[in-house]
């Protein structure tokens, strides 16, 4: 049967009723013109979600014509889901986006120019980083840096002194890790395996004068830089200072609260400073934030930067650009919102908010804020990770495992890794 | 008269009765809408996208055969093919042999057959679920159940899932464990073999071994063929187990990076949807080729008793 025959077969009355229904639906938005609904999406822990929902409630109370629909998603599959929604022209209005994807989404014209958000009190470094050709495509959700979370309780139990993190080098780090493992009981390690965190690795390469990604997006890392880190990871495993790649690959899949640092089986681990509180709280022991070690001969120059935890961005296709920016402005700049959010997305970017909440912080949070403000004077400028850098963490973990499992030599792994990063960055 | 002929006659009688046809099409409509809207149109769209550069954010731009040519110089794709072929070629025969053995054991008319059948079918209901894949991670982790069991005998097992040499085997094991569906089909097939043949064979003094190889197996070949085709197609498309067991990255070291998982990562995580679409059509060709070979080869070993 052809389609028109089928249409004829349908009762006229049903068709008419359906058409009436469709025209009614078309009328609805016009009737509700004054009521605006925004969609906001993020990933993260329960505490982040609860704090954000509380802050949004304050916003809704102050703006009765705006309703906010929140979606808290798991990180696994987050970018996948988001990019599909963008492709389907069904993107949320306000979005928490991993740093590595901001450039890619911005270059595709997917992000709104956030020129109505008041940036006067916000951190200038991260704000400038997200200004692409005069378009303010994002604002830092909060500030963060790399950190070594050291478990002082385990250091003390092993009889090892905490290092001076303003002068220590990677050689010190390896030696201390091995010493702690040796002097502690079974199953306690000096460090988490080094194959877990690509961001610390990227900083290590930077300390050697090259970049996994330079600010202009080019890959300048040399095979020696990468091989040196891989061999250090092997040395620390051979020396007993850390567990092997099998344990490492299991810990990578776990939330921070179940990691070796948080379960008190590794005395040191590489983290983002925004995770300090979660790890310290889960551990329950005396946790101390340390700066990353420096290269031998360049003590005290860890080349660390203070960057954004993630970025807030908005869809360029939003039907409510003003309301979306009003909500973002509230989350970033309102002191009451800040008192709800505290450090759930890193240290607040707004200096007034930071000052207002500091007296109210719990001990772990206060330590993290203090660590970052001490680091400020020695920090190097931050920049937005370039387009295509979203593969860095996964690529690093894969190639260091290729080496640690003995499938590739350090040089081959390094060369192949550079080749893949370059293809990813379009070079 | 065969069932198909009956249906054909039924069709002839009804011809001309347009009213009844209309009703049938109306009832078919939900399925038809799904077929066109959710399968055919997206397939055509992906065929088009496979000839474009498309990152999901900007509109696709035509780039000819570039994606297909790239597939030939992608070492990770070559590795994904190796992993997938290993998985299919090892797990499908293993699972079918296992399913047949269990079906033979259950076919002896034992008491409580329905109960056993249900118990053996249970893993198939659960096996493709996310929950079981997560359980698998717990069982075969470094300090998982399986290693604790080995430790009772003084053996220190590796991290089965986190070691690239053993990770794929755990997923193959998971697949073999879900032998329920082919087992049920085998069981039904065994019941179809007329007992007459066995009685005659026994009268002639055939051993049970001879009975199996000269009666059971030949009579069962259509069923084996059916299971083989279904399982090969299904195994090429396996995704969930590898995704969950490896934590979504096909690790460690791409040792569980199935073709489908790599396709998913390319398309949705690396936003290279043009390439992913080309990969999808590559899989269509691979599965099509395997199925064609299967059907061709079936002439030489499948025996139809009619």
Concatenated DSSP letters for chain B?
--HHHHHHHHHHHHTT-HHHHHHHHHHHHHHHHHIIIIIIHHHHHHHHHTTEE--SSSPPEE-TTHHHHHHTT-HHHHHHHHHHHHHHHHHHHHHHHHHHHHHHHHTT--TTHHHHHHHHHHHHHHHTSHHHHHHHHHHTSTTSHHHHHHHTTT-----TTTSTTTHHHHHHHHHHH--HHHHHHHHHHHHHS-HHHHHHHHHTT--HHHHIIIIIHHHHHHHHHHHHHHHHHHHHT--HHHHHHTTTTT-STTTT--HHHHHHIIIIIS--HHHHHHHHHHHHHHHHHHHHHHHHHHHHH-----
Q: Name which of B19, B57, B133, B257 to mutate to probe chain A: the one with the most chain A Cβ atoms within 10 A of its Cβ.
A: B57
Q: In what order do the strands lie in the sheet with A66-73?
A: A66-73, A36-43, A94-97, A311-314, A139-140
CA terminus-to-terminus distance, chain A:
55
pLDDT digit string (tens) for B213-267?
999 999 999 999 999 999 999 999 999 888 888 878 887 889 999 999 999 999 9
Computed on alpha carbons and rounded to an integer, the radius of gyration of chain B in Å comes to: 24
Q: Measured between CB atoms, does A75 come within 8 Å of chain B?
A: no
Measured over the CA atoms of residue B153, residue A247, residue A396 and residue A209, the dihedral's sign is negative
Tokens encoding B235: 């195994």
Contact yes or no for A110/B57 (Cβ under 8 A): yes
Closest residue, chain B, to A396 (C-alpha)? B253
- Asked if A405 lies within 8 A of B253 by C-beta distance, the reply is yes
Closest residue, chain B, to A87 (C-alpha)? B56
Q: What pLDDT is recorded for position B3? A: 55
Residue closest to A147 by CA, chosen among A358, A363, A318, A347: A347
Q: Name which of A83, A252, A254 to mutate to probe chain B: the one with the most chain B Cβ atoms within 10 A of its Cβ.
A: A83
As a whole number, mean pLDDT of residues B7-33 equals 76
Calculate how close chain B gets to A379, using CA atoms only, in Å: 31
Which residues in chain A show pLDDT less than 50? 1-32
Q: What pLDDT is recorded for position B123? A: 82
Q: Considering the entire predicted model, what is its pTM?
A: 0.85
Q: How far apart are CA A329 and CA A19, in angstroms?
A: 42
* 3-state SS class at A71: strand
pLDDT digit string (tens) for B96-118?
999 999 999 888 777 788 888 88
Q: For the purposes of burial, counting CB atoms within 10 Å of the CB of A422, is it exposed (0-12), middle (13-18) or buried (19 or more)?
A: middle
Residue closest to A141 by CA, chosen among A122, A154, A157: A122
With beta carbons under 8 A apart, name residues in chain B contacting A104: 55, 57, 271
Contact yes or no for B62/B52 (Cβ under 8 A): yes
Q: Is the pLDDT of residue B2 over 60?
A: no
Q: Measured between CB atoms, does A15 come within 8 Å of chain B?
A: no
Question: In angstroms, how far apart are the furthest CA atoms of chain B?
Answer: 78
- Asked if B253 lies within 8 A of A407 by C-beta distance, the reply is yes
Q: Measured between CB atoms, does A7 come within 8 Å of chain B?
A: no
Give the model's confidence band at B83: pLDDT under 50 very low, under 70 low, under 90 confident, else very high.
very high
Q: Which of A104, A245, A253 sits opposite B271 (nearest CB)?
A: A104
Q: Measured between CB atoms, does A317 come within 8 Å of chain B?
A: no
Closest residue, chain B, to A255 (C-alpha)? B247
Q: Helix B113-127 and helix B167-177: axis angle, to 10°?
A: 140
With beta carbons under 8 A apart, name residues in chain A contacting B269: 79-80, 390
Q: Which of A23-32, A103-112, B73-82, B268-277 shows the lowest per-residue confidence on average (mean pLDDT)? A: A23-32
Q: How far apart are CA A330 and CA A59, in angstroms?
A: 7
ipTM over 0.85: no
Question: In angstroms, how far apart are the furthest CA atoms of chain A?
Answer: 88
Residue closest to B124 by CA, chosen among B116, B132, B112: B132
Tokens encoding A137: 């495509």
Q: What pLDDT is recorded for position B162? A: 87
**Kindly report the CA angle at A224 between A221 and A227, in degrees rounded to 5?**
100
- Asked if A246 lies within 8 A of B162 by C-beta distance, the reply is yes
Q: How far apart are CA B287 and CA B237, in angstroms?
A: 9
C-beta atoms surrounding B37 within 10 Å: 10
Q: How far apart are CA A53 and CA B273, in angstroms?
A: 34
- Asked if A397 lies within 8 A of B271 by C-beta distance, the reply is no
A9: preceding bond cis by omega (within 30 degrees) = no
Top pLDDT among B169 and A10 is at B169
Q: How far apart are CA B92 and CA B98, in angstroms?
A: 10
């Amino acid at each position: 049967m052809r389609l028109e025959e089928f249409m004829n077969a349908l009762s006229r009355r049903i068709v008419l009723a359906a058409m009436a229904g469709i025209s009614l639906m078309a009328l609805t938005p016009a009737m509700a013109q004054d009521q605006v609904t925004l969609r906001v999406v993020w990933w993260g822990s329960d505490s982040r979600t609860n704090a954000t929902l509380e802050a949004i409630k304050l916003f809704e109370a102050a703006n009765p014509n705006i309703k906010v629909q929140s979606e808290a998603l798991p990180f696994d599959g987050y970018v996948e889901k988001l990019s599909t929604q963008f492709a389907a022209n069904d993107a949320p209005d306000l979005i928490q986006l991993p740093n590595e994807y901001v450039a890619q989404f911005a270059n595709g014209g997917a992000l709104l120019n956030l020129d109505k958000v008041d940036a006067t009190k916000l951190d200038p470094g991260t704000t400038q980083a997200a200004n692409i050709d005069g378009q303010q495509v994002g604002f830092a959700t909060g500030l963060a840096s790399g950190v070594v979370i050291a478990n002082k309780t385990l250091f003390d139990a092993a009889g090892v002194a905490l290092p001076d993190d303003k002068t220590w080098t990677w050689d010190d780090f390896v030696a201390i890790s091995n010493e702690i493992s040796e002097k502690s009981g079974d199953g306690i390690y000096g460090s988490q395996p080094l194959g877990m965190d690509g961001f610390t690795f990227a900083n290590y390469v930077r300390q050697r004068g090259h970049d996994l990604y330079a600010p202009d997006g080019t890959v300048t890392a040399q095979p020696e830089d990468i091989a040196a880190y891989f061999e250090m990871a092997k040395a620390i495993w051979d020396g007993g200072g850390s567990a092997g790649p099998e344990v490492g690959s299991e810990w990578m899949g776990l939330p921070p609260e179940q990691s070796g640092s948080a379960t008190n089986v590794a005395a040191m681990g590489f983290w983002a400073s925004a995770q300090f509180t979660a790890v310290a709280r889960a551990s329950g022991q005396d946790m101390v934030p340390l700066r990353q070690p420096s290269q031998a001969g360049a003590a005290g120059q860890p080349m660390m930067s203070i960057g954004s935890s993630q970025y807030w961005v908005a869809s360029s296709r939003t039907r409510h650009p003003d309301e979306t920016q009003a909500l973002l402005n509230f989350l970033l700049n309102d002191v009451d919102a800040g008192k709800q959010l505290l450090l759930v997305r890193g240290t607040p970017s707004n200096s007034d908010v930071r000052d207002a909440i500091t007296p109210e912080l719990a001990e772990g949070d206060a330590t993290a804020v203090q660590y970052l403000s001490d680091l400020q004077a020695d920090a190097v400028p931050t920049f937005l990770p370039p387009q295509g850098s979203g593969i860095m963490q996964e690529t690093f973990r894969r190639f260091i495992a290729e080496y640690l499992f003995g499938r590739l030599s350090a040089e081959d792994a390094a060369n192949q890794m550079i080749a893949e990063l370059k293809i990813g960055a379009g070079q | 008269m065969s069932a198909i002929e009956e249906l054909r006659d039924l069709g002839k009688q009804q011809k001309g009765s347009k009213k009844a046809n209309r009703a049938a099409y109306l009832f078919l409509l939900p399925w038809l809408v799904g077929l066109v809207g959710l399968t055919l149109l997206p397939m055509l769209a992906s065929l088009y996208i496979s000839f474009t550069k498309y990152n999901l954010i900007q509109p696709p731009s035509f780039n000819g055969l570039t994606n297909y040519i790239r597939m030939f110089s992608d070492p990770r794709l070559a590795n994904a093919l190796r992993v997938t072929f290993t998985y299919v070629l090892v797990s499908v025969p293993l699972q079918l042999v296992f399913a047949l053995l269990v079906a033979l054991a259950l076919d002896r008319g034992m008491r409580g057959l329905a109960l056993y059948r249900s118990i053996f079918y249970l893993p198939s209901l659960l096996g493709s679920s996310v929950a079981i894949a997560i359980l698998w991670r717990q069982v075969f982790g470094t300090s998982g159940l399986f290693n604790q069991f080995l430790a009772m005998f003084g053996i220190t097992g590796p991290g089965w899932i986190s070691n690239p040499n053993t990770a794929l085997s755990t997923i193959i094991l998971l697949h073999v464990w879900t032998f329920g569906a082919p087992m049920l089909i085998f069981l039904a097939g065994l019941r179809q073999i007329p007992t007459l043949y066995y009685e005659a064979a026994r009268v002639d003094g055939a051993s049970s071994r001879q009975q199996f190889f000269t009666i059971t197996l030949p009579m069962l070949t259509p069923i084996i063929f059916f299971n083989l085709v279904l399982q090969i197609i299904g195994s090429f498309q396996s995704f969930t187990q590898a995704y969950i067991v490896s934590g979504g990255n096909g690790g460690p070291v791409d040792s569980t990076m199935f073709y489908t998982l790599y396709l998913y990562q390319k398309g949705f995580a690396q936003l290279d949807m043009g390439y992913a679409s080309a990969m999808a059509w590559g899989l269509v060709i691979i599965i099509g080729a395997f199925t064609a070979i299967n059907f061709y080869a079936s002439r030489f070993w499948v025996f139809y008793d009619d």
